[in-house]
Structures are given as C-alpha cells and as structure tokens.
Amino acid sequence: MQNLPIYLYPNSFTVILDLDTTIKGVNQVMYQQDLKIQKGIKNQVRVQFKNSDQKKIRIYNTQTFVFSMFDAINQRLIVEKNLEILDLGSTATKGIALLTLNESDTLDLDRSSYQYSVKLLDTDGTFTPAYANTYYGMAGTLHLSNDVYPVLKDSTIVTTFNPVWNAATDLYENYTGNMYASPEFNGNSALHTVAFYMSAYKGTIYIDASLDNTPGNNYTVINTLTYNLYSGVTYANFNGVYSYIRIRHVPAKGPNDADNRNTAYSGTLDKILYRS
C-alpha cells in the first residue's frame, strides 16, 4: 500500500524594514526566497518584518503596509492589497502580517513570474519602501503556478456548415464536420455541452453521436431541438461516452419558397460551441 504524505504549513517571506537608527552592523542574507502562489485559489502568506540586523521588529495596527504585485516587463500593476497586522505584542507574533490573495485576484492572470514589493504608508501620506533583502533590493520574485486545477481545453467552434440535399424530405440539411468527443478522458457519465448562437432561427437541430473511430455516416440521433424565431444563445447538455459528435440543422421552409435556403424566412444558426 502506498503512503502519500501531505504537508500543511504557512507560506511566508521576510521583509526588511529598517526603522531602527541604532543598528551599527548589517547581517546580510545571501538571498530572499521566491514567493510561490497558486492560481485561482485563496492564498494566505505570512510576512515577517525584520531589521537589517535580522532581528524581528514590532509592527502596529496603526501602520498600513501595502503589498503590490506587478508585471516587471510592462510595468503594469496587477494586484495591490493591504496587509493584515497579526503582531499582538507577543514573541510568537512579533513583526508578522498576513497577505491574503483571493481566488479572483489571480484567476485571470497568466501562469508566469511576477515581481512584488511591500511599502509602508507614512504619516504624511507618502510611502516608505521596505526591502526584499539586505542589499536594498525592493522587489522580490513571485511565481504564479496552476498546479491545483487542470486547465480547461478550448471549445470546438463551428461557424460554417456543409449543406446536403435530402431527397426524402425535399430539404437541405446543414452539417458540421465530425467533432472529436475525447472518449479517453470521459467516464460513463461524461458530460457534453453544445451552445447555439441564433438569429431569428426557425427550424430543427439534431445532435448526432457515433461510437465508431471512423464514423462516416454511422451516427445516431441523441437529441432533437426545435426553434421558432429564436434569437440569442441557448445550449443543450447530454451524457455518454462517444467517439464523435455531429450537429445538423434543418431550417424551416417558407410557404412560397422552392427550398429551405431563404434565411429571410428561417433566420440563421450563426455559431456552435462544443465541449466534452
């Protein structure tokens, strides 16, 4: 039997805040650790304030410390958050503040490396810098990872259809191509979603599915949808492990039309998005 150890410990980094004018020497650290943050979840990071002699210093609730995360290449500020002071005057909490990055703060960001800084709001309304290391480097490095949730694949987009004449019904049927349904990633209750973008559409939409690796025309109808002058976006969900999916739509035929290609009467099916 395998054993899987999981570790729970606080994420933390050190900030140099040299407010003590009595310090005569400097104990330099070789480097500041990079800050690692996970995308799309709540991250809480403990910030330890020290002086340049590597001694923990008191911070107070009356002080305002601001964390800034930015893209160093484009000089673009991305996230700016106030730190929560945790220093209660005891040895255990001396010089500690808490940075909280919520899910929404990182959800739309690219997985990459960024820079961060911490600054102190002074009594005159200006900011005093804190330092990421004892070499007076203000900016530290933050790595934004996406190791917790898988990345969703893009939907299959269809904007053109292949019209085929059906002699049995005297109507044109408009087909998408074969859309791969990724059966290797799906269980027995695999969910599929198709979104339809329509403009005053009249007609019937068929969702066809196949279990064959080379389906050709070997499809089975699994859903039939009928619309009458529908405009907007609607969708259909269905379950099952299939090799390929195909959509075909049959516009309604006007009473005075020779066939069903008159979009002034039947409207249009403009776009389909499919995801398995």
**66 and 25 in a common domain:** yes
**227 and 133 in a common domain:** no
Q: pLDDT at residue 7 above 60?
A: no
The CATH number for 82's domain is: 2.60.40.3350
Question: Would 5 be classed as within a structural domain?
Answer: no
**98 and 165 in a common domain:** no
The DSSP string of 42-104 is: -EEEEEEEE-TTS-B----TTSEEEEEEEETTTTEEEEEEEPEE---SSTTTTTEEEEEE-HH
State the pLDDT confidence band at 95, using cuts at 50, 70 and 90.
confident
**161 and 101 in a common domain:** no
- 235 CB-contact burial (10 Å; exposed 0-12 / middle 13-18 / buried 19+): exposed
Point out the domain boundary residue: 145, 166, 198.
145
Q: pLDDT at residue 8 above 70?
A: no
| Number of Cβ atoms within 10 Å of the Cβ of 120 | 19
pLDDT (tens digit per residue) in 236-247: 999 989 999 999
Q: What is the pLDDT of residue 237?
A: 93
Beta bridge pairs of residue 196 = 234, 272
Point out the domain boundary residue: 118, 145, 172.
145
pLDDT (tens digit per residue) in 44-85: 989 888 877 778 888 888 989 899 898 878 888 999 999 999
Point out the domain boundary residue: 121, 145, 169.
145
Picking from 208, 216, 187, the residue whose alpha carbon sits closest to that of residue 274 is: 208
Q: What is the pLDDT of residue 13?
A: 73
Question: Would 151 be classed as within a structural domain?
Answer: no
**103 and 227 in a common domain:** no
**25 and 135 in a common domain:** yes
Query: Into how many domains does the chain fold?
Result: 2
**106 and 160 in a common domain:** no
State the pLDDT confidence band at 2, using cuts at 50, 70 and 90.
very low
- Residue 55 belongs to domain spanning: 11-145
Higher local confidence (pLDDT), 189 or 161 = 161
